[in-house]
Copies of this chain bind each other. A is one copy, B any other.
Amino acid sequence: MKYYSLSYSLQWLPFLIPTLILSCCVSAAQFNVPRLGPLSRGILRNPEPAAVSESFSKDLKTFFYAQTLDHFNYRPESYKTFRQRYVMNFKHWGGAKAGAPIFAYLGAEAPLDGDLVTIGFLNDNAARFDALLIYIEHRYYGKSIPFGSTKEAMKNASTLGYFNSAQAIADYAAVLMHVKKKLHAQNSPVIVIGGSYGGMLASWFRLKYPHIALGALASSAPILYFDEIAPEIGYYSIVTKDFREASESCYRTIRRSWSEIDRIASKPNGLSILSKRFKTCDHLESSFELKDYLDSIYAEAAQYNEPPTYPVTVVCKGINGASKRTDTLGRIFHGLVAIAGKRSCYDTKEFNYPTETYLGWRWQKCSEMVLPIGHATNDTMFQPEPFNLNRFIKVCNSLYSVSPRPHWVTTYYGGRDIKLILHRFASNIIFSNGLRDPYSSGGVLENISDTLVAVYTRHGSHCLDILPSQKSDPQWLVMQRKMEVEIIKGWMDKYYTDLANRR
C-alpha cells in the first residue's frame, strides 16, 4: 500500500473488508463502476492533494460557511451546522456595481484542492467576463465535513444519511446567496460549472435553482445513466469502440484475453501462474481480481483518452508492439506496462484504495447514485456481465445496512423523455461531451431547445473542455470551448437587457 501509512489503512480496514469479500468470489466491476470526476485518479495521473495545496495561487482566498446539516428537515439535529469550504478569486471581477458575473464551480466527489488547479475553464475565462470565481466544496469531502471529523461523518448510515445530491445543491444555493448578499452583488449573474458528477449537479442546480444560477455548463454529465433511461451497455460499448478504432488487432487481443485468463486460472496453481505473469503485488485471490483490474485500466484509458498522449493508443501500442511470438496474456501485460509504466509489481487493488473519493462515492452509489453499468450481451470486448441490481442492493446493505433508492434521481431530477419535458421548460444549460468518453452514452447529445444545447466533439474524452487550455490543444477542443464561451456570452447579453428593461 505505497500510498498509505499502515495506521491510515487500518483506520479504513472495516470499510475495505466488504469489498475484498465481494471481489474474492464475484466480479466487483459493476459495484466499482468506473469512477466519475474530471481527472483520472487511477494509474493515468495521481495528483497528491498535498502537492496541489502548495500550488494555491495567491489570488485564491479561502472561506468557510456555517452550513445547515439538513435543509429539508426541522428536527433539532437538522439545525446543526458544519464548516463548508469555498474559495474565491476576485482578481478579474468587475464588481457588484457593474453587475459583473460570478462563475461558480460546484464541487463533486473529491476534496476541492485538486479542482482548484485542474478546472481551468473558470480561470481561463475570468478576464474576458470580468468574472468573480468561486469554488465550493461538496459536503463530506475535503475540509467540509459534518460531525466534526471524517471518522464520525463516515461512521454509519445515521451520520452518512445527510450525504446526498439534494442536500449538496441546497448547500450551494445557500453559499451563493450568502456571497451575493455579502458582496451586494444581487444583479451579478451566476454561471454554475461542473464536470462529471459535478456536471450533473450543475445541470440540476440550474433546473432547481434558476433564481440563483442564470445558466450552467454541465461537462460530461451522464444525467441519463439512471433508471434504465440509457442502455446499461452504453459505457462499455464506447470503451470497446475506442479500442477498436485505435486498433482492430488490439481489440481482438483484449477480447480474447478474458477466456485465456479463465483457462489458466482453472489450472492447479493457475492463480500463481497469473500472479507471476502479471507481477501482481499480492497473490491473486481470484481471476476476477485480475480481470477487474484490467477492466478498470481499459475503462480509465478510454474515459481519460486525452490528447496529446491518448492512453488508449498507448495501451494498444503496448499490446501490438510485443514481439511476434508473445502470447495473448504476454501482450495484455505489455499493454499494462505501456500505460502504467515499469513497476516492481502491479497492485490489482489500485482502483479500490479507500481514498475519500472511493469511500464517499461508494456511499453515494449505495444511496442514490445508482448508475446501472453493465454489459449484458456479447457486443463488447468484455465478458458478458449484466448489471445486477439485487446484488448491488445486497452489497450496499452489507456495507451500510440501508438500501439504495434507484428511482429517486429520476423522480427528483427527471431525465426520462427529457426533450419532450424540457423543450418548453427551462433554459441556459450546456451539456458538453466527448464522444470517446464512455459516460457520453448517458449524456445529453441532442439540443433540447435553443437554450438547452448539446455541445460535443467526436474525439473528446471525459470533462476535457473544462480542463486548463494548453498550447497543445487540438483545434476541435479549442473550438468546443470557444462555442461554450459564446453561448454563455449570449445568455448574459439577454440577461443584462432584461435587467435594464426591468420595471
From known contacts A163-B74, A420-B499, infer whether A174 and B411 are also in contact, taking CB-CB under 8 Å: yes
Q: Is A502 an interface residue (CB 8 A)?
A: yes
Which residues of chain A in 93-138 are interfacial with respect to chain B, using CB atoms and an 8 Å cutoff? none
| Contact indicator B426/A211 (Cβ below 8 Å) | no
Q: Is A54 an interface residue (CB 8 A)?
A: no
Closest chain B residue, CB of each to CB of A424: B427
| Contact indicator A208/B211 (Cβ below 8 Å) | no
Q: Is A166 an interface residue (CB 8 A)?
A: yes
From known contacts A170-B412, A414-B210, A414-B211, infer whether A498 and B76 are also in contact, taking CB-CB under 8 Å: no
Pick from B164, B211, B428: contact of A415, CB under 8 Å: B211
* Shortest CB distance A252–B (Å): 35
| Contact indicator A401/B210 (Cβ below 8 Å) | no
* Assembled-state Cα–Cα distance A451/B427 (Å): 14
Q: Is A289 an interface residue (CB 8 A)?
A: no
| Contact indicator A76/B417 (Cβ below 8 Å) | no
| Contact indicator B74/A72 (Cβ below 8 Å) | no
* Assembled-state Cα–Cα distance A403/B407 (Å): 33
- A163, A407, A420, most chain B CB atoms within 10 A: A420
| Contact indicator B425/A157 (Cβ below 8 Å) | no
Q: Is A158 an interface residue (CB 8 A)?
A: yes
Copies in the complex: 2
| Contact indicator B75/A158 (Cβ below 8 Å) | yes
Which residues of chain A in 405-450 are interfacial with respect to chain B, using CB atoms and an 8 Å cutoff? 405, 407-408, 411-412, 414-428
Residues 151-175 of chain A: 1 if any B CB is under 8 Å from the residue's CB, otherwise 0? 0000001101111101100100110
Q: Is A177 an interface residue (CB 8 A)?
A: yes
Size bin of chain A's contact surface: 35 or more
| Contact indicator B76/A164 (Cβ below 8 Å) | no
Q: Is A494 an interface residue (CB 8 A)?
A: yes
Q: B residues within 8 A CB of A494?
A: 424
- A75, A177, A210, A427, most chain B CB atoms within 10 A: A75
From known contacts A157-B76, A161-B78, infer whether A426 and B425 are also in contact, taking CB-CB under 8 Å: yes
| Contact indicator B402/A164 (Cβ below 8 Å) | no
| Contact indicator A417/B211 (Cβ below 8 Å) | yes
Which residues of chain A in 67-90 are interfacial with respect to chain B, using CB atoms and an 8 Å cutoff? 70-76, 78-79
Closest chain B residue, CB of each to CB of A419: B502
Q: B residues within 8 A CB of A79?
A: 402-403
* Shortest CB distance A295–B (Å): 29
| Contact indicator B498/A72 (Cβ below 8 Å) | no
Q: Is A144 an interface residue (CB 8 A)?
A: no
Closest chain B residue, CB of each to CB of A159: B75
| Contact indicator A177/B401 (Cβ below 8 Å) | no
* Assembled-state Cα–Cα distance A502/B73 (Å): 39
| Contact indicator B423/A498 (Cβ below 8 Å) | yes
Q: B residues within 8 A CB of A451?
A: 424
| Contact indicator B210/A162 (Cβ below 8 Å) | no
* Shortest CB distance A448–B (Å): 12
* Shortest CB distance A345–B (Å): 38
| Contact indicator A426/B210 (Cβ below 8 Å) | yes
Q: Is A367 an interface residue (CB 8 A)?
A: yes
| Contact indicator B498/A74 (Cβ below 8 Å) | no
From known contacts A211-B415, A412-B173, A416-B211, infer whether A74 and B367 are also in contact, taking CB-CB under 8 Å: yes
Q: B residues within 8 A CB of A428?
A: 424-425
Closest chain B residue, CB of each to CB of A425: B210
Q: B residues within 8 A CB of A72?
A: 70-73, 164, 166-167
* Shortest CB distance A348–B (Å): 31
Which residues of chain A in 451-503 are interfacial with respect to chain B, using CB atoms and an 8 Å cutoff? 451, 494, 498-499, 502
Closest chain B residue, CB of each to CB of A70: B73
Closest chain B residue, CB of each to CB of A364: B74
| Contact indicator A498/B424 (Cβ below 8 Å) | yes
| Contact indicator B210/A402 (Cβ below 8 Å) | no
- A76, A420, A425, most chain B CB atoms within 10 A: A425
A-B contact pairs, 10 of them (CB 8 A): A72-B73, A74-B164, A75-B162, A76-B158, A417-B502, A419-B502, A423-B498, A425-B426, A425-B427, A426-B426
Interface pairs A-B: 4 shortest CB-CB: A211-B414, A75-B161, A72-B72, A74-B161
A75-B158, A425-B428 provided; 20 other pairs, C-beta below 8 A? Answer: A72-B72, A72-B167, A73-B73, A73-B164, A74-B367, A74-B368, A74-B405, A78-B161, A79-B402, A170-B412, A173-B412, A208-B208, A210-B414, A211-B414, A211-B421, A212-B414, A420-B499, A420-B502, A424-B494, A425-B427
